[in-house]
Amino acid sequence: MRIRYDPDVDAAYISFKRGHLEVTTMRITEDIALDFGPGEEIVGIEILDASRHLELNSKQPQVELENLVAA
């Protein structure tokens, strides 16, 4: 899993799969979209206006990991 944050556009993307996959995107809200890959498996989540939705400090965002190891 990889989490990317772009402070220039205040967007976050959580990807669950590596590599280039053909996806179908479903908008859940104006700011949140799910990307589905083969077999309707969720491969990613896009979050616009991420600092508000994820309560991030856009200048220095922090993520807390529980039962996970950062690579």
What's the chain look like in SS3?
CEEEEECCCCEEEEECCCCCCCCEEEECCCCEEEEECHHHCEEEEEEECHHHHCCCCCCCCCCCCCCCCCC
Total domains present in the chain? 1
Q: In terms of pLDDT, which residue wins out, 7 or 70?
A: 7
Does some domain include residue 69? no
Residue 5: pLDDT over 70? yes
pTM for the structure as a whole: 0.83
Q: What percent of the chain has pLDDT over 90?
A: 55
Q: What is residue 67's predicted lDDT score, i.e. its pLDDT?
A: 81
Query: Residue 61 domain-assigned?
Result: no
The mean pLDDT of 36-42, rounded to a whole number, is 92
Cα separation of 19 and 47, whole Å?
20
Please state the length of the chain: 71
Per the structure, the complete domain to which residue 23 belongs is given by 2-53
